Chains A and B, each alone.
Chain A
Amino acid sequence: MASTGCFIIVSKNDIPIYEAEVGSAAKKEEAAHQHQFILHAALDIVQDLAWTTSAMFLKAVDRFNDLVVSVYVTAGHTRLMLLHDSRNEDGIKSFFQEVHELYVKILLNPLYLPGSRITSSHFDTKVRALARKYL
Protein backbone atom coordinates (compact mmCIF):
# COMPACT_ATOMS: atom_id res chain seq x y z
CA MET A 1 0.00 0.00 0.00
CA ALA A 2 1.14 3.47 -0.86
CA SER A 3 2.59 5.52 1.94
CA THR A 4 0.56 8.52 0.88
CA GLY A 5 -2.61 8.54 -1.07
CA CYS A 6 -5.39 11.04 -1.27
CA PHE A 7 -8.54 10.04 -3.06
CA ILE A 8 -11.04 12.65 -4.08
CA ILE A 9 -14.15 12.74 -6.21
CA VAL A 10 -14.73 15.96 -8.07
CA SER A 11 -18.15 16.70 -9.38
CA LYS A 12 -18.91 17.98 -12.84
CA ASN A 13 -18.63 21.58 -11.71
CA ASP A 14 -15.28 21.11 -9.97
CA ILE A 15 -16.62 20.70 -6.47
CA PRO A 16 -15.05 17.95 -4.37
CA ILE A 17 -17.91 15.74 -3.25
CA TYR A 18 -15.87 13.09 -1.52
CA GLU A 19 -12.42 13.13 0.03
CA ALA A 20 -10.46 10.42 1.73
CA GLU A 21 -6.89 10.12 2.88
CA VAL A 22 -6.13 6.54 2.00
CA GLY A 23 -2.43 6.65 2.72
CA SER A 24 -0.85 4.33 5.23
CA ALA A 25 1.38 7.19 6.38
CA ALA A 26 0.21 9.10 9.40
CA LYS A 27 -1.96 11.95 8.22
CA LYS A 28 -0.22 15.23 8.70
CA GLU A 29 -2.12 18.43 9.28
CA GLU A 30 -0.64 20.39 6.41
CA ALA A 31 -0.89 17.43 4.06
CA ALA A 32 -4.58 18.02 3.61
CA HIS A 33 -4.35 21.35 1.89
CA GLN A 34 -1.22 20.41 0.01
CA HIS A 35 -3.00 17.44 -1.52
CA GLN A 36 -5.95 19.56 -2.35
CA PHE A 37 -3.69 22.06 -4.06
CA ILE A 38 -2.04 19.44 -6.19
CA LEU A 39 -5.26 17.72 -7.16
CA HIS A 40 -7.00 20.98 -7.85
CA ALA A 41 -4.15 22.11 -10.08
CA ALA A 42 -4.21 18.78 -11.86
CA LEU A 43 -7.78 19.48 -12.95
CA ASP A 44 -6.32 21.76 -15.58
CA ILE A 45 -4.45 18.91 -17.12
CA VAL A 46 -7.48 16.68 -16.88
CA GLN A 47 -9.65 19.13 -18.70
CA ASP A 48 -7.22 19.07 -21.59
CA LEU A 49 -6.79 15.33 -21.62
CA ALA A 50 -10.36 14.30 -21.00
CA TRP A 51 -11.56 15.27 -24.45
CA THR A 52 -8.65 13.79 -26.30
CA THR A 53 -9.33 10.22 -25.29
CA SER A 54 -12.38 8.03 -24.99
CA ALA A 55 -10.87 5.95 -22.23
CA MET A 56 -12.16 6.64 -18.77
CA PHE A 57 -8.90 5.88 -17.07
CA LEU A 58 -6.41 8.55 -18.04
CA LYS A 59 -3.39 7.19 -16.35
CA ALA A 60 -1.00 9.45 -14.47
CA VAL A 61 -1.87 12.89 -15.71
CA ASP A 62 0.21 15.08 -13.47
CA ARG A 63 2.95 14.92 -10.93
CA PHE A 64 4.28 17.12 -8.22
CA ASN A 65 7.75 16.23 -6.97
CA ASP A 66 7.27 12.53 -6.19
CA LEU A 67 3.49 12.57 -6.01
CA VAL A 68 1.54 11.36 -8.99
CA VAL A 69 -2.04 12.19 -9.87
CA SER A 70 -4.07 9.48 -11.57
CA VAL A 71 -7.50 10.33 -12.84
CA TYR A 72 -10.57 8.44 -13.94
CA VAL A 73 -13.28 10.36 -15.69
CA THR A 74 -16.79 8.97 -15.67
CA ALA A 75 -19.23 9.49 -18.48
CA GLY A 76 -20.94 12.21 -16.47
CA HIS A 77 -17.59 13.97 -16.28
CA THR A 78 -17.25 13.25 -12.62
CA ARG A 79 -13.58 12.86 -11.91
CA LEU A 80 -12.13 10.32 -9.55
CA MET A 81 -8.67 11.57 -8.69
CA LEU A 82 -6.02 9.75 -6.77
CA LEU A 83 -2.83 11.31 -5.50
CA HIS A 84 -0.31 8.61 -4.81
CA ASP A 85 3.32 7.79 -4.75
CA SER A 86 3.03 4.15 -5.65
CA ARG A 87 3.58 2.78 -9.07
CA ASN A 88 1.15 -0.06 -9.70
CA GLU A 89 -1.04 1.22 -12.44
CA ASP A 90 -3.21 -1.91 -12.67
CA GLY A 91 -4.10 -1.70 -9.03
CA ILE A 92 -5.09 1.91 -9.39
CA LYS A 93 -7.09 1.11 -12.48
CA SER A 94 -9.11 -1.60 -10.82
CA PHE A 95 -9.50 0.57 -7.76
CA PHE A 96 -11.00 3.27 -9.90
CA GLN A 97 -13.30 0.85 -11.65
CA GLU A 98 -14.70 -0.55 -8.42
CA VAL A 99 -15.12 2.87 -6.90
CA HIS A 100 -16.92 3.87 -10.05
CA GLU A 101 -19.42 1.09 -9.52
CA LEU A 102 -19.97 2.22 -5.96
CA TYR A 103 -20.43 5.73 -7.18
CA VAL A 104 -23.05 4.63 -9.69
CA LYS A 105 -24.94 2.97 -6.86
CA ILE A 106 -24.82 6.21 -4.92
CA LEU A 107 -26.12 8.04 -7.94
CA LEU A 108 -29.03 5.64 -8.20
CA ASN A 109 -30.08 6.41 -4.68
CA PRO A 110 -33.16 8.55 -5.19
CA LEU A 111 -32.47 10.41 -1.99
CA TYR A 112 -29.03 11.47 -3.24
CA LEU A 113 -28.96 14.74 -5.08
CA PRO A 114 -26.38 14.49 -7.88
CA GLY A 115 -23.46 16.83 -7.39
CA SER A 116 -23.99 17.05 -3.68
CA ARG A 117 -21.53 15.76 -1.11
CA ILE A 118 -21.40 12.03 -0.55
CA THR A 119 -22.05 11.52 3.14
CA SER A 120 -22.81 7.82 3.07
CA SER A 121 -20.65 6.10 5.65
CA HIS A 122 -21.23 2.82 3.88
CA PHE A 123 -19.64 4.23 0.75
CA ASP A 124 -16.76 5.57 2.77
CA THR A 125 -15.92 2.25 4.37
CA LYS A 126 -16.19 0.46 1.05
CA VAL A 127 -13.81 2.91 -0.59
CA ARG A 128 -11.26 2.59 2.16
CA ALA A 129 -11.47 -1.16 1.96
CA LEU A 130 -10.83 -1.00 -1.78
CA ALA A 131 -7.91 1.29 -1.18
CA ARG A 132 -6.37 -1.19 1.21
CA LYS A 133 -6.97 -3.92 -1.31
CA TYR A 134 -5.54 -2.34 -4.41
CA LEU A 135 -3.20 0.46 -3.48
Chain B
Amino acid sequence: MAPIAPRSGDAVFANVERVNAELFTLTYGAIVRQLLTDLEEVEEVNKQLDQMGYNIGIRLIDEFLAKSNVSRCVDFKETAEVIAKVGFKMFLGVSASVTNWDADGTCCSLILEDNPLVDFVELPDTCQGLYYCNVLSGVIRGALEMVSMKTEVTWVRDMLRGDDAYELKVKLLKQVPEEYPYKDDE
Protein backbone atom coordinates (compact mmCIF):
# COMPACT_ATOMS: atom_id res chain seq x y z
CA MET B 1 0.00 0.00 0.00
CA ALA B 2 1.47 3.32 -1.09
CA PRO B 3 1.83 6.00 1.57
CA ILE B 4 -1.26 8.11 1.97
CA ALA B 5 -1.30 10.92 -0.57
CA PRO B 6 -0.61 14.35 0.91
CA ARG B 7 -3.76 16.40 0.70
CA SER B 8 -1.77 19.53 0.14
CA GLY B 9 1.58 20.12 -1.46
CA ASP B 10 2.87 22.33 1.32
CA ALA B 11 5.26 19.71 2.59
CA VAL B 12 6.60 19.11 -0.87
CA PHE B 13 6.66 22.77 -1.67
CA ALA B 14 8.65 23.35 1.49
CA ASN B 15 11.58 21.34 0.21
CA VAL B 16 11.61 21.89 -3.50
CA GLU B 17 14.18 24.32 -4.77
CA ARG B 18 12.89 27.80 -5.48
CA VAL B 19 13.65 30.64 -7.83
CA ASN B 20 12.96 34.32 -7.49
CA ALA B 21 9.34 34.90 -8.42
CA GLU B 22 10.03 37.99 -10.48
CA LEU B 23 12.75 36.27 -12.42
CA PHE B 24 10.33 33.44 -13.10
CA THR B 25 7.53 35.75 -14.14
CA LEU B 26 9.69 37.90 -16.34
CA THR B 27 11.25 34.88 -17.98
CA TYR B 28 7.87 33.56 -18.88
CA GLY B 29 6.84 37.00 -20.01
CA ALA B 30 9.88 37.19 -22.24
CA ILE B 31 8.92 33.88 -23.81
CA VAL B 32 5.40 35.04 -24.54
CA ARG B 33 6.62 38.35 -25.90
CA GLN B 34 9.06 36.57 -28.20
CA LEU B 35 6.36 34.25 -29.41
CA LEU B 36 4.17 37.23 -30.15
CA THR B 37 6.85 38.88 -32.22
CA ASP B 38 7.75 35.68 -34.03
CA LEU B 39 4.35 34.27 -34.87
CA GLU B 40 2.56 37.65 -34.79
CA GLU B 41 -0.80 35.95 -34.61
CA VAL B 42 -2.43 35.51 -31.26
CA GLU B 43 -4.01 32.21 -32.17
CA GLU B 44 -0.66 30.78 -33.17
CA VAL B 45 0.83 31.94 -29.90
CA ASN B 46 -1.92 30.22 -27.96
CA LYS B 47 -1.24 27.01 -29.82
CA GLN B 48 2.46 27.29 -29.31
CA LEU B 49 2.13 27.97 -25.60
CA ASP B 50 -0.15 25.00 -25.23
CA GLN B 51 2.32 22.82 -27.09
CA MET B 52 5.17 24.01 -24.90
CA GLY B 53 3.07 23.29 -21.86
CA TYR B 54 2.34 19.84 -23.17
CA ASN B 55 6.03 19.16 -23.55
CA ILE B 56 6.63 20.38 -20.04
CA GLY B 57 3.79 18.29 -18.70
CA ILE B 58 4.92 15.00 -20.11
CA ARG B 59 8.23 15.45 -18.37
CA LEU B 60 6.93 17.08 -15.26
CA ILE B 61 4.62 14.28 -14.31
CA ASP B 62 7.47 11.95 -13.38
CA GLU B 63 9.11 14.60 -11.28
CA PHE B 64 5.79 15.18 -9.66
CA LEU B 65 5.08 11.55 -8.87
CA ALA B 66 8.59 11.09 -7.62
CA LYS B 67 8.75 14.09 -5.31
CA SER B 68 5.22 14.05 -4.03
CA ASN B 69 4.54 10.43 -3.18
CA VAL B 70 0.92 10.43 -4.12
CA SER B 71 -0.73 7.10 -4.43
CA ARG B 72 -2.76 5.87 -7.36
CA CYS B 73 -5.84 7.96 -7.80
CA VAL B 74 -8.93 5.88 -7.78
CA ASP B 75 -10.91 8.17 -10.01
CA PHE B 76 -10.76 11.38 -11.93
CA LYS B 77 -12.18 13.32 -9.05
CA GLU B 78 -9.23 12.43 -6.90
CA THR B 79 -6.86 13.20 -9.76
CA ALA B 80 -8.26 16.67 -10.07
CA GLU B 81 -7.93 17.20 -6.34
CA VAL B 82 -4.30 16.12 -6.41
CA ILE B 83 -3.54 18.41 -9.31
CA ALA B 84 -5.19 21.35 -7.63
CA LYS B 85 -3.87 20.86 -4.15
CA VAL B 86 -0.51 19.18 -4.65
CA GLY B 87 0.51 19.86 -8.20
CA PHE B 88 -0.15 23.57 -8.34
CA LYS B 89 1.24 24.07 -4.87
CA MET B 90 4.35 22.16 -5.70
CA PHE B 91 5.23 23.90 -8.94
CA LEU B 92 3.53 27.28 -8.71
CA GLY B 93 3.36 27.70 -4.99
CA VAL B 94 -0.34 28.40 -5.14
CA SER B 95 -3.13 25.92 -4.73
CA ALA B 96 -6.26 25.78 -6.78
CA SER B 97 -9.76 24.71 -5.87
CA VAL B 98 -11.82 22.18 -7.74
CA THR B 99 -15.45 23.01 -8.39
CA ASN B 100 -18.45 22.56 -10.57
CA TRP B 101 -18.25 18.92 -11.39
CA ASP B 102 -20.62 17.70 -13.98
CA ALA B 103 -22.97 14.81 -13.43
CA ASP B 104 -20.77 11.92 -14.49
CA GLY B 105 -17.62 13.28 -12.88
CA THR B 106 -15.61 13.68 -16.04
CA CYS B 107 -15.45 17.43 -16.17
CA CYS B 108 -14.51 19.96 -13.54
CA SER B 109 -13.00 23.39 -13.11
CA LEU B 110 -9.76 24.25 -11.41
CA ILE B 111 -9.97 27.76 -10.03
CA LEU B 112 -6.82 29.72 -9.30
CA GLU B 113 -7.27 32.72 -7.07
CA ASP B 114 -3.85 34.09 -7.83
CA ASN B 115 -1.40 33.16 -10.45
CA PRO B 116 2.30 33.99 -10.26
CA LEU B 117 2.63 33.88 -14.02
CA VAL B 118 0.63 37.02 -14.56
CA ASP B 119 2.13 39.48 -12.11
CA PHE B 120 2.32 42.93 -13.76
CA VAL B 121 0.79 41.55 -16.94
CA GLU B 122 -1.86 43.56 -18.67
CA LEU B 123 -3.19 42.64 -22.09
CA PRO B 124 -2.84 45.47 -24.58
CA ASP B 125 -5.49 45.90 -27.26
CA THR B 126 -3.30 44.23 -29.82
CA CYS B 127 -3.17 41.01 -27.85
CA GLN B 128 -6.84 40.52 -27.07
CA GLY B 129 -7.67 36.85 -27.42
CA LEU B 130 -4.32 35.78 -26.06
CA TYR B 131 -4.49 33.14 -23.35
CA TYR B 132 -1.46 34.33 -21.51
CA CYS B 133 -1.28 31.30 -19.23
CA ASN B 134 -2.05 28.79 -21.91
CA VAL B 135 1.07 26.95 -20.93
CA LEU B 136 -0.69 25.76 -17.80
CA SER B 137 -3.45 24.03 -19.70
CA GLY B 138 -0.81 22.38 -21.81
CA VAL B 139 1.04 21.16 -18.76
CA ILE B 140 -2.06 19.58 -17.27
CA ARG B 141 -3.00 17.97 -20.54
CA GLY B 142 0.47 16.54 -21.05
CA ALA B 143 0.82 15.33 -17.51
CA LEU B 144 -2.53 13.59 -17.47
CA GLU B 145 -1.85 12.01 -20.81
CA MET B 146 1.18 10.36 -19.29
CA VAL B 147 -1.04 8.73 -16.73
CA SER B 148 -3.33 7.55 -19.50
CA MET B 149 -6.02 10.13 -19.22
CA LYS B 150 -6.86 11.94 -22.40
CA THR B 151 -8.14 15.32 -21.31
CA GLU B 152 -9.19 18.57 -22.85
CA VAL B 153 -8.15 21.64 -20.89
CA THR B 154 -9.66 25.00 -21.72
CA TRP B 155 -9.75 28.40 -20.07
CA VAL B 156 -13.11 29.51 -18.86
CA ARG B 157 -12.21 32.60 -16.91
CA ASP B 158 -9.11 34.71 -17.12
CA MET B 159 -8.33 37.66 -14.88
CA LEU B 160 -6.39 39.28 -17.71
CA ARG B 161 -9.68 39.45 -19.52
CA GLY B 162 -11.41 41.07 -16.62
CA ASP B 163 -12.82 37.99 -14.96
CA ASP B 164 -12.58 37.55 -11.24
CA ALA B 165 -10.43 34.42 -11.22
CA TYR B 166 -8.59 31.96 -13.38
CA GLU B 167 -10.72 28.97 -14.22
CA LEU B 168 -9.41 25.98 -16.07
CA LYS B 169 -11.98 23.55 -17.40
CA VAL B 170 -10.57 20.04 -17.38
CA LYS B 171 -12.62 17.54 -19.33
CA LEU B 172 -11.80 13.86 -19.29
CA LEU B 173 -12.26 12.63 -22.83
CA LYS B 174 -11.34 8.96 -22.42
CA GLN B 175 -9.37 6.94 -20.00
CA VAL B 176 -7.04 4.60 -21.81
CA PRO B 177 -7.46 1.36 -19.85
CA GLU B 178 -4.45 -0.47 -18.52
CA GLU B 179 -3.78 -3.61 -20.52
CA TYR B 180 -4.23 -6.78 -18.59
CA PRO B 181 -2.47 -9.92 -19.84
CA TYR B 182 -5.70 -11.57 -20.87
CA LYS B 183 -9.36 -10.87 -20.66
CA ASP B 184 -12.12 -13.05 -19.47
CA ASP B 185 -15.59 -12.82 -20.81
CA GLU B 186 -17.65 -14.01 -17.95
Judging by beta carbons under 8 Å apart, are A111 and B32 in contact? Answer: yes
Residues of B in contact (CB 8 Å), total 16
The chain A residue with its CB closest to the CB of B34 is: A110
A contact set with B: CB distance below 8 Å = 105-106, 108-112, 119-120, 122
Residues of A within 8 A of B30 (CB): 110
Selected A-B contacts with CB under 8 Å, 24 pairs: A105-B120, A108-B22, A108-B26, A108-B119, A108-B120, A109-B29, A109-B120, A110-B28, A110-B29, A110-B30, A110-B32, A110-B33, A110-B120, A110-B121, A111-B29, A111-B33, A111-B36, A111-B123, A111-B127, A112-B122, A112-B124, A119-B124, A120-B124, A122-B122
Q: Is the interface of B mostly helix, strand, loop or mixed?
A: helix
Flag whether B125 is at the interface (Cβ < 8 A). yes
B contact set with A: CB distance below 8 Å = 22, 26, 28-30, 32-33, 36, 119-125, 127
Residues of A within 8 A of B127 (CB): 111
Q: Is the interface of A mostly helix, strand, loop or mixed?
A: loop
Other A-B contacts than A109-B29, A109-B120, A109-B122, 18 sampled, CB-CB below 8 A, are A105-B120, A108-B119, A108-B120, A110-B26, A110-B28, A110-B29, A110-B33, A110-B121, A111-B29, A111-B32, A111-B33, A111-B124, A111-B127, A112-B122, A119-B125, A120-B122, A120-B124, A122-B122
